[in-house]
Structure 1
Amino acid sequence: MGADLKEDPTFFDRADSLINLANEHCAETGRGKVSASFMYGCARFQAWNAATWAGNSGEMLEKRNETIEYFVEQYRTMLSENLDDYIGNFAKYMGPSNDH
């Protein structure tokens, strides 16, 4: 994760509030469906975010591939870090293992 995010004192609070909302939805809907909605919402928000940087649709089109690469790389890094965290802390986060 970028150093600028680690220095943001409310970064994890915002992330946790989104995770808590997703967890609330999991009480009524399966995790897979909530995950799909969460990803779609994130993608929709990032498309809007990119639009705010552009003066018009032509500028958005010009930066389209660059924008996709940026957000995909950010997601890949964050997912990798979180998977490694869960791998390293599986018993702590998930409780007793069912492995025999």
Structure 2
Amino acid sequence: MEEVDKHFYDRADEHINLSNDQLNTESKGKVSASMMYGLSRFNSWVSACGWNSSEEMKSAKKETLNYFVDEYRKMLEENLDDYINNFDEYMKPKK
């Protein structure tokens, strides 16, 4: 993964904290689905900001999808490996 800006993890943690707060009233699956939907909606908007017309955006749709899916896959693989390597520590019951 490329070097990230110094506030990258702080911003990510804010999203995670919001999702954790939502777990007080919703299931993990519902919170996860809402978070993924929100992310897809935001990234669609970010992508739209880079184009001058819907035709331009449409012509780059496959490339845009590949970019976001590839980046998500890299981040998910990294985090899955982290949980695999630290499972006992991360998943032990909180006292």
TM-score calculated relative to the size of structure 2: 0.95
Deviation readout 1:9-36 (Å, 9 max, x if unpaired): 0000000000000000011000000000
C-alpha RMSD of matched pairs (Å)? 0.9
Q: Which residue of 2 aligns with 1:7?
A: 4
Which position in structure 2 is the counterpart of 1:32?
29
Runs of 5+ consecutive residues of structure 1 not aligned to the other structure: none
Q: CA deviation at 1:88?
A: 0.1
Q: Per-residue CA shift, 1:27-73, capped at 9, x if unaligned? A: 10000000000000000000000000001101100100000000000
How many residues end up aligned between the 2 structures? 93
Moved over 6 A (4+): none
Higher relative contact order at CA 8 Å, sep ≥6: structure 1 or structure 2?
1
Which runs of structure 2 are paired with 1:45-84 in the superposition (5 Å)?
45-84=42-81
**Identity rate, percent:** 52
